[in-house]
C-alpha cells in the first residue's frame, strides 16, 4: 500500500465551473490497481440531487465515487460523471451488490444491471454490500462471481463491505482472490481497530463508511442514544488548532492512517470542504487523541445480523 502525495483543489470556484488541476492521493490496492483515497459517497443522496453532487465533486477534484445498487442512484452517478466532461477512465467507480442478488448467476447479472445503469463497460471496484452471515453459501457464490468478473476484466478490483474478521476468514476458506477493500463503519466513535488490523494483515484496504460520523447524527432507524461525533469537544479543539472543520479533521485522520474515506454530501460547499484536506497534517498525539474516542460500539447495523426476507428487496433491472 502506498500513499502518493499530490495537490488538491481546495474550494469550489464561485462560477461553479472551472477545471482544477488536481492529483488526488491514491492507494495501491493488493492487485496493483490505484484507487483515489478520498471518494464521494452517495448513500441517501436523492436521485434528483445525485448527478449534480457527482458533477460538483468531480469539478472540485474528486476522482472516486462510491455508490451501490441498493442506493437507487447509479443511473444519476453515471449522468453526473458524463456531465462533468471528465474522462470515464479518470474516474474510479465503486459500487456494491445487494444480498438479494447474491448467488453466482445472480451476481453476474447484478454486474449487468449496475453497468447498464451507470452507462459504463467496466467497474473499478465491485464489492459485496453485506456479509449476510445467515445466507453465507450465497455470499460465497456471489464472491466467486466477482472473481470471474475480475478474471474477465469486467471489474478492475473486488472486495467486501461490513465483513468482520471472522467473515473474511470464512470467505477465504472458499475464495482464491483476497478482497482489495473492506468497507466498514468507521469514525472516531467506532474505529474498529481489530478489523483494521485483520484487514491490514491480509493486505486489504480498510475503507471508512460514515467517515465523518453521519451514522451518529443523521435521522434514521438507528436509535436515539446515538452521540453526534461532529459535536465532539476533542475534535473541535483539534480543528480549531488547525483552522479546519471537524469534518476535515476526521477525514485527515483516516488518510494519515492509510484508510480510504468516502464522505457523502449533496451540498456544494460541504463537498468542497471535505476535499480540502491535503494541506495540513495532524500530529501523532492528535491522531492518538482521536483514536482514544473509540467506544467499541457501532451506531449503524450489526454486521452479523440476520438477513430476513424483508431485507432482500429486489434491485430493479433499469
Active-site positions? 71
Do 54 and 65 contact (CB within 8 A), yes or no?
yes
Cβ proximity to ligand NDP, 239 vs 284, nearer residue = 239
CB-wise, 152 or 185, nearer to ligand NDP?
A: 185
Please give the span between the terminal C-alpha atoms of the chain, in angstroms, as a whole number: 37
The distance of closest approach from Cβ of residue 190 to ligand NDP in the complex, given in angstroms and rounded to an integer, is: 11
For ligand NDP, the closer CB: 212 or 282: 212
**Contact residues for 57 (Cβ-Cβ < 8 A; gap 6+):** 40, 65, 80, 271, 275
Distance (Å, whole) CA 142 – CA 155? 14
- The grid cell for 87 is 474522462
Least gap, CB of 2 to ligand NDP (angstroms): 23
C-alpha cell of 205?
484496504
| Closest to ligand NDP by CB, 58 or 262 | 262
Nearest Cα residue to 49 out of 9, 69, 76: 76
- Grid coordinates representing 77 are 452517478
Grid coordinates representing 57 are 465533486
The residue among 113 and 190 lying less far from ligand NDP, judged by its C-beta, is 190
**In the complex, which residues of this chain contact ligand NDP (CB under 6 A)?**
41-43, 66, 129, 161-162, 183, 209-215, 218, 230, 245, 247, 262-267, 270, 273-274
Min. distance of Cβ 95 from ligand NDP in angstroms?
A: 10
Q: Which long-range contacts (CB under 8 A, 24 or more apart) does 279-283 make?
A: 279/8, 279/10, 280/242, 280/244, 280/248, 280/252, 281/252, 281/256, 282/238, 282/242, 282/249, 282/252, 282/253, 282/256
- Closest separation in Å from C-beta 297 to ligand NDP: 16
What is the number of helices (H) and of strands (E) in the chain?
10, 10
Amino acid at each position: 500500500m502506498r500513499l502518493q502525495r499530490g495537490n488538491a483543489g481546495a474550494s469550489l470556484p464561485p462560477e461553479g465551473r472551472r477545471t482544477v488541476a488536481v492529483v488526488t492521493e491514491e492507494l495501491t490496492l493488493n492487485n496493483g490497481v490505484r484507487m483515489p483515497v478520498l471518494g464521494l459517497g452517495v448513500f441517501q443522496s436523492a436521485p434528483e440531487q445525485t448527478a449534480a453532487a457527482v458533477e460538483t465533486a468531480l469539478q472540485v477534484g474528486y476522482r472516486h465515487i462510491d455508490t451501490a445498487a441498493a442506493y437507487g442512484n447509479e443511473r444519476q452517478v453515471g449522468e453526473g460523471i458524463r456531465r462533468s466532461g471528465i474522462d470515464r477512465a479518470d474516474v474510479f467507480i465503486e459500487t456494491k451488490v445487494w444480498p438479494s442478488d447474491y448467488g453466482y448467476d445472480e451476481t453476474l447479472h447484478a454486474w449487468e444491471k449496475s453497468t447498464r445503469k451507470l452507462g459504463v463497460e467496466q467497474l473499478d471496484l465491485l464489492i459485496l454490500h453485506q456479509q449476510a452471515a445467515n445466507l453465507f453459501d450465497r455470499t460465497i457464490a456471489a464472491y466467486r462471481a466477482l472473481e470471474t468478473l475480475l478474471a474477465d476484466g469486467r471489474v478492475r478490483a473486488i472486495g467486501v463491505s461490513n465483513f468482520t474478521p471472522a467473515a473474511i476468514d470464512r470467505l477465504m476458506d472458499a475464495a482464491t482472490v483476497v478482497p482489495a477493500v473492506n468497507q466498514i463503519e468507521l469514525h472516531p466513535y467506532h474505529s474498529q481497530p481489530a478489523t483494521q488490523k485483520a484487514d491490514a494483515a491480509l493486505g486489504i484496504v480498510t475503507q471508512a463508511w460514515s467517515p465523518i460520523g453521519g451514522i451518529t447524527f443523521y435521522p434514521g432507524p438507528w436509535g436515539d442514544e446515538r452521540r453526534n461525533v461532529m459535536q465532539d469537544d476533542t475534535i473541535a479543539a483539534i480543528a480549531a488548532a488547525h483552522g479546519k472543520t471537524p469534518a476535515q479533521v476526521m477525514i485527515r485522520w483516516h488518510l494519515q492512517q492509510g484508510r480510504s474515506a468516502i464522505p457523502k454530501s449533496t451540498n456544494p460547499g460541504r463537498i468542497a470542504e471535505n476535499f480540502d484536506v491535503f494541506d495540513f497534517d495532524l500530529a501523532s498525539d492528535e491522531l492518538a487523541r482521536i483514536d482514544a474516542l473509540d467506544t467499541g460500539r457501532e451506531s449503524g447495523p450489526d454486521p452479523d445480523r440476520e438477513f430476513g426476507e424483508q431485507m432482500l428487496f429486489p434491485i430493479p433491472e433499469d
